[in-house]
A and B are shown apart, each in its own frame.
Chain A
Amino acid sequence: MIANVIAALRSLNYEPTAEEIADIFWLAFQMDRDHAPTPEPVTREQPALVHEARAQPQLTPVPARSDTDGTWADQVAEGGNLYPHASPSTATAVGGAGSLPFRSPAAVALPGARGIARALRPLMRRVPSRSSTTLDERATANHIAHEGIRLPVLRPTPTRWLDAALIIDTSASMAIWQQTIFEFRRLLERQGAFRDVRVWELETDAADGSVHLYAESGATLGRRRKRNPRELIDPSGQRLMILVSDCVANAWHDGAVTRILAVWARMHPIMIVQVLPQHLWSRTALSGLPLARLRSTAPGTPNTYLHDDLATRKMDTKRSMDVLSPLEMDQEPSSKGPLIKVRMPIVTLEPRALAVWAQMVAGTSGDWTPGFILEGGIAHSSAEYGTAVLEGSGLDTQAADQLVRRFRATASPTARRLASLCAATPLTLPIMRLVQRTMLPDSRQVHLAEVFLSGLLKEQPSTDPQIDISSRQYDFVAGVRELLLDALSGAESLRVLEAVSEFIELRLGQAFDFRALLADPTALDGLAIAEESQPFARIAVTVLRRLGGRYAALANKIAGRVETPHGQDADSNGILSAANTASRDDLTQHLAAAAACLARDDLVGAEEALLEALRIASDNPSIRTRLADVYFRQGNLGKALAQFDVLATYYEKRQSLDRAIDVLTFAAKLSPSHIPINNRLAHMLLRRGYAERGLQELMRVAKLQQDAGLLKDAVSNLQEAAYDYNLLGQRAQAQTIYDTITRIAPNDIDARVWLSIMYVIEGRTEEAIAQKKQIVRIFVQTRDFDNAIAEMHQIYALDQSDTDNLYQLGDVLMRREEYEQAAHVYGRLAKIPNVQIERVEMLQAAAKRMYDQQQAALSGETISATRKESIALLRAFRPDLSDADSHLDAIATELGDTSLALYLAGSLLAQYRTEMAPEAYIRKLQDPALLEHRGQTQLHTAESRQIVRALEISLSWLDPTTLVDAWALDLLAHMSHGAPGEPMPRTLLLEAKGLSDDSSEETAWFDAALKRLVDLGLLARHDNGMLGLDPKLAPYVG
């Protein structure tokens, strides 16, 4: 019974330890016990069942205590033969559930582990802890003995210096290094040098072309969450980052990885462990990058601050890279070159290389460590050989032929043999390793890596995105398998088949035993081939067919029972080879029919035939191409484009961006103004790294969108383009684009912020300020005062003498009731020469008074100084009146001591001192009809009521039937729109009215109108000649 249970557990890929088995049985026994509902002492009489169970001696052969696992297993094994296997837990330790107890062919996946551990020893430093102290017993004892005072001596606890972030590239080609990485990780964890070792996964071959970071999480946690690379940054800098990669995936070529590395390199020492040996680096993204030797001056130096020897080697470089500031290092502006550069030590997993690097990080040696200057931001054309990895293209045999020829020319003999042997098997990692072990015992992981790098393989699309790495299915690019098999003798291929067959039997229990079938082909009748055996059976058909004779006969027999795999690519020789016999015939028929129809120009017939064919092989790119062609010839451009769109998606999913680009380029040529297609093309180009072409295309699309009125899309595209240009260091282009954006969308803050930043960097302060003022205007308009204030402070930092800015800042601060700050701002203003000192002082006094009131309100006091100031304000306009004048007091009362209202009143009383006496003004104010045509919404506060009342009276002096006043009203309306409160130069206003600054009659009227407004106090003429409408008035005029 126990043996059965253990067998059952094993079949679930679970290797229990003796203690776990004991737990399981004990618990099962407890669960079966008949528990009485009431608590009873455990010593009660056991039911019969229990006695029976207890009677099984093997169940509890347990001594009272056992100290270690080992003795446990031994004891149990002796007593009850619970555990026949010598070593527990190979499987779960390696690959988790689902993986087989297969280890890589080489005995250890990480040769020289001990040497590596030794190499890392310099990192084992201990540093004084920042957070904890310990009692220094010896020093304390000494102290007490010598001084006679019992005082403790404390020292910072020594703690491990660094923790380690192990970042693992998870692109498809990294699959073969799983075991190596596992052992390296274990080494880091056990070596004791690091406070902590956390593992992160970097996805570099995502379908959308971007790079994603994940925290390695327990397998049970379900969906993984993308993490921000900045999460890895430890502000204390005491973290070492190690990225394990083969530097092959697309994201390495287009610089996406480098951009992330640049973020980390600024704060932390980081290095790349290149799993491939150096002679293969030329096939990775490292090819063509500048080699450099790196060196540090202090322990734990972040990469950005490393020294390199590029400058000494390139004498034409003006400045030594050593003295480049970190900023320049990461973002070196240059018109054509790549933008981001990262100094990066790159070492293989060999003790010597690691030792030199570890000493550099620990700062214990001044030796140079080899590395590269990684470049990002723009794609350099990658070695096709490298990027071809696992790309599923395979439309023509030409490619297969070329691929194999190139592979044979460059790969090592062992790798060539391995590839041929693998051609006789289904391709999963465990099987490829099996082939290595049984057929090529001398081969190492590197050779497998060479096969993976050859571009001969592609990954089979899987429905399960989180499929375990060891059950991923690969296949050769169409046509390659046959070519490779040519190099294999019949006997060899049979041996491979045998080995694999055995393996599958072992794994699945029930096998597709082709040797038995060879002996007795009739056994196949009525035999169903299990789904798991299908891939193998398919390969077996191919291999056996080539052997001829009875093998071929069997092959044909098996072929009839093999299902067509779903979603498999059709290959060149046609579209056909993947399909099974029945549907293959149908396909052939449909395609022949289509060809016939085309020959006689029957486009409708051809369309129907191709649609039928698509129904059988829906993913087939070749059929789609033909269909698109037919649609185009029919003149149905829309349908043709739709087919191209599907095609592009097809290639995109298979990581063949270049092909997708070809398709889209063709489609875009057919319809240059079709926005979705062109848009897609532009983004695909950028993703692939064709920056220049992509940006041009993007700009073109933005123009199309703008013309079509899709302003939002256009702006979004333009922003992307500008951002990219900026990243590439092409500031001029970026600026032009941002300028365009501000024209299309004047209220787009992002663009203006970028522009202002660029202007600041270039020292074009005036333009920067102009942009910032626009930003302020937008913020004020959207009532985002906090941001507005922040921007105005920046403007002040750029130009301390900008009075308008300070006026506005003060005004906004007043509105925010931050009176103290406002008073401070007015104080600054007062120090600027040639400022209207009375006005400023008045404002400052008002701010101070409001502040006092605020404080008083807080402390519960009242202040009566207000009225005095109100009267003083009015008397500034009418110094002829006495400050004891009761009318002035009445006006101040009516207007609630609101300074803006008083200012209007004062202006009017000064301007029309004959027409309107103070008492007449009071009567006007008290006229209930005054506010008749104002909506209640405008008058929701006492302050706004008072301002509007004063304003109404002032406006009533403007007579729309006279020419000048009509002009004035018009101007007022103009200034209250767009940018209310924004001071404008007279010339701009002239322009807005379609006038030029000349001596024409209209210009004279215009000036007269301006004067009217200024006289009435409605407009303020600022020191620099600018004209401004008080923002508080803006909502009520026009």
Chain B
Amino acid sequence: VDNWWIFQGIGTPHDGIDRLPDPPGWRLFHGEVLAERRLAPDPHAERRLGLGARGATFQVGKEEIEVVNAALYLRRPLLITGKAGSGKSSLAYAVAHELKLGPVLRWSITTRSTLADGLYRYDAIGRLQDTNLDDAKLDVGSYLRLGPLGTALLPTRRPRVLLIDEIDKSDIDLPNDLLNIFEEGEFDIPELVRISKDMQRVDVMPYDGSGDEDRVPIGRGRVQCRAFPFVVLTSNGEREFPPAFLRRCLRLDMQLPNEEKLAKIVAAHLGEEGLAQAHQLIKRFLTRQAQKEMATDQLLNAIYLTTRGVDLQSKEREQLLEVLLRSLAGAESS
């Protein structure tokens, strides 16, 4: 463990984030912290990281730790490429869990995702309909919900973790739009700016809000970040990104786990007794992975079902394995 590391990849939560030095001058943001929310524990972390009696089972390598820390220090987004199953998004959960940064704000990108979706959503129609009723609650904040990106940019003392999943699926404008917002660290909500003379402060709903009452205050219609969020962008390499975008990101290519790492993962998920029976399966998985696209999950499924599951005849077991270890790339041309 290098002593400049904030994130240490150990899996146990700690307060190391408080040691994070102020950002370099060119990444300093001045949002005013209006209120700190109490963050609920991440419901997905346990499943993602295999948290349980044995501690976190997600394995982080040295290279990953270093790049994560560099991104934390520099307040730069981290662009992770790698094949399916290499644990790209799990890394975001691992950082959030260990550094106690609250639930991961996950934004899954589709071809139709736009920057506006990530920032906030304003339910103009709902509001309009409600105004038809006389006893309308005319609080504009009830019609405004921040998106994952908007929530991540809320001014807080500790950075939030924002996972922008499969950015390579996006349409052509999104990377550049994101680039700008990451540089600025702030955005306006025109609906609130318009009324800011009368209402300086409006309480709106955050993306990860626990209910209608869980609100965050926004002053003068502008969201301005304080601690720049830890942003993880994942990509399956479906597209190239504009050079300017790449220059603003730190890049990490996650390798598929090797035998040693797989063994660790298996042991962590299924215990040592599971590992003892699984060595042959791991070997078989690796030879197959060399030719086809396979995810680590498939291996875990296979090991679990064949060692823990139903008592199977050897032939049925073989068939089951075939199904479980089928390539992900179904469309691959012969």
B32 near A: Cβ within 8 Å?
no
Contacts known (A132-B112, A150-B129); A231 close to B243, Cβ less than 8 A? no
CB atoms of A150 and B132 under 8 A apart: yes
Complex partner residue of A30 from B4, B111, B131, CB under 8 angstroms: B4
Chain A proximity mask over B1-42: 1 for CB below 8 Å, otherwise 0:
011100000000001101101101110100000000000000
Stretch at the interface among A193-201, A453-461, A684-692, A727-735: A193-201
A contact residues around B332 at 8 Å (CB)? 225-228
A contact residues around B28 at 8 Å (CB)? 64-65
CB atoms of B125 and A34 under 8 A apart: no
Contacts known (A23-B74, A195-B172, A228-B332); A30 close to B243, Cβ less than 8 A? no
B contact residues around A228 at 8 Å (CB)? 331-333
Taken together as a complex, chains A and B put the C-alpha atoms of A189 and B128 apart, in Å, by 39
A contact residues around B331 at 8 Å (CB)? 227-228, 230-231
CB atoms of A220 and B247 under 8 A apart: no
For window 38-56 of chain A, which residues contact chain B by CB distance below 8 Å?
39-40, 42
CB atoms of B125 and A217 under 8 A apart: no
CB atoms of B237 and A221 under 8 A apart: yes
Chain A: residues with Cβ within 8 Å of the partner, total of 60
Contacts known (A19-B26, A62-B26, A218-B81); A39 close to B76, Cβ less than 8 A? no
Taken together as a complex, chains A and B put the C-alpha atoms of A300 and B317 apart, in Å, by 51
Smallest CB separation, A853 vs chain B (Å): 30
CB atoms of B26 and A42 under 8 A apart: no
Smallest CB separation, B81 vs chain A (Å): 5
CB atoms of B3 and A37 under 8 A apart: yes
Taken together as a complex, chains A and B put the C-alpha atoms of A199 and B74 apart, in Å, by 32
Taken together as a complex, chains A and B put the C-alpha atoms of A227 and B247 apart, in Å, by 29
CB atoms of B81 and A150 under 8 A apart: no
Which single residue of chain B is at the shortest CB-CB distance from A30? B73
23 residue pairs A–B, Cβ–Cβ below 8 Å: A22-B24, A22-B26, A27-B74, A31-B4, A33-B4, A34-B3, A39-B15, A39-B16, A60-B24, A62-B25, A65-B28, A66-B26, A135-B125, A152-B128, A196-B172, A197-B172, A217-B237, A217-B240, A221-B81, A225-B293, A226-B332, A226-B333, A227-B332
A278 near B: Cβ within 8 Å?
no
B214 near A: Cβ within 8 Å?
no
Chain A proximity mask over B123-151: 1 for CB below 8 Å, otherwise 0:
01100110110000000000000000000
CB atoms of A17 and B240 under 8 A apart: no
CB atoms of B333 and A64 under 8 A apart: no
B contact residues around A198 at 8 Å (CB)? 238-239
B contact residues around A194 at 8 Å (CB)? 172
B64 near A: Cβ within 8 Å?
no
CB atoms of A216 and B240 under 8 A apart: yes
> Known pairs A92-B243, A216-B239. 8 more at Cβ < 8 A?
A19-B247, A26-B24, A27-B73, A33-B4, A152-B124, A199-B240, A218-B237, A226-B332
B contact residues around A140 at 8 Å (CB)? 128
For window 179-198 of chain A, which residues contact chain B by CB distance below 8 Å?
189, 194-198
Chain A proximity mask over B242-262: 1 for CB below 8 Å, otherwise 0:
111001000101000000000
Chain A proximity mask over B90-117: 1 for CB below 8 Å, otherwise 0:
0000000000000000000001100000
CB atoms of B171 and A195 under 8 A apart: yes
Taken together as a complex, chains A and B put the C-alpha atoms of A686 and B17 apart, in Å, by 66
For window 53-108 of chain A, which residues contact chain B by CB distance below 8 Å?
60, 62-66, 69, 89, 92-93
Taken together as a complex, chains A and B put the C-alpha atoms of A39 and B19 apart, in Å, by 5
CB atoms of A23 and B24 under 8 A apart: yes
B235 near A: Cβ within 8 Å?
yes
Which single residue of chain B is at the shortest CB-CB distance from A26? B24
B83 near A: Cβ within 8 Å?
yes
B329 near A: Cβ within 8 Å?
yes
Contacts from A to B (Cβ < 8 Å): 17, 19-20, 22-23, 26-27, 30-37, 39-40, 42, 60, 62-66, 69, 89, 92-93, 131-132, 135, 140, 149-152, 154, 163, 189, 194-199, 212-213, 215-218, 220-221, 225-231
Taken together as a complex, chains A and B put the C-alpha atoms of A36 and B332 apart, in Å, by 52
Taken together as a complex, chains A and B put the C-alpha atoms of A914 and B141 apart, in Å, by 97
B281 near A: Cβ within 8 Å?
no
B contact residues around A215 at 8 Å (CB)? 237-238
- Name which of A27, A60, A135, A163 has the most chain B CB atoms within 10 A of its CB: A27
B178 near A: Cβ within 8 Å?
no
B70 near A: Cβ within 8 Å?
yes
Taken together as a complex, chains A and B put the C-alpha atoms of A221 and B256 apart, in Å, by 11
Which single residue of chain A is at the shortest CB-CB distance from B168? A218
Smallest CB separation, B181 vs chain A (Å): 14
Would you list the 7 A-B pairs with minimal beta carbon distance, nearest first?
A: A39-B18, A217-B237, A221-B237, A220-B253, A228-B333, A62-B25, A26-B24
For window 78-92 of chain B, which residues contact chain A by CB distance below 8 Å?
81-83
Chain B: residues with Cβ within 8 Å of the partner, total of 46
CB atoms of A196 and B125 under 8 A apart: no
Complex partner residue of A151 from B4, B128, B253, CB under 8 angstroms: B128
Smallest CB separation, A651 vs chain B (Å): 26
Which single residue of chain B is at the shortest CB-CB distance from A215? B238
Contacts known (A26-B24, A62-B24, A66-B26); A196 close to B19, Cβ less than 8 A? no
CB atoms of A17 and B247 under 8 A apart: yes
CB atoms of A196 and B171 under 8 A apart: yes
CB atoms of A135 and B19 under 8 A apart: no
B contact residues around A34 at 8 Å (CB)? 3
A contact residues around B83 at 8 Å (CB)? 221
CB atoms of B4 and A35 under 8 A apart: yes
Smallest CB separation, A57 vs chain B (Å): 14
Complex partner residue of B253 from A64, A163, A221, CB under 8 angstroms: A221
CB atoms of B237 and A60 under 8 A apart: no
Taken together as a complex, chains A and B put the C-alpha atoms of A677 and B281 apart, in Å, by 40
Complex partner residue of A42 from B21, B131, B235, B242, CB under 8 angstroms: B21
B contact residues around A221 at 8 Å (CB)? 81-83, 237, 253
A contact residues around B21 at 8 Å (CB)? 30, 33, 42
Smallest CB separation, A222 vs chain B (Å): 8
A contact residues around B18 at 8 Å (CB)? 39
Smallest CB separation, A29 vs chain B (Å): 9
A contact residues around B22 at 8 Å (CB)? 42
CB atoms of B235 and A26 under 8 A apart: no
Smallest CB separation, B67 vs chain A (Å): 11
B contact residues around A89 at 8 Å (CB)? 243
B contact residues around A27 at 8 Å (CB)? 70, 73-74
Taken together as a complex, chains A and B put the C-alpha atoms of A19 and B248 apart, in Å, by 9
Smallest CB separation, B218 vs chain A (Å): 21
Smallest CB separation, A487 vs chain B (Å): 42
Taken together as a complex, chains A and B put the C-alpha atoms of A372 and B4 apart, in Å, by 65
A contact residues around B329 at 8 Å (CB)? 225
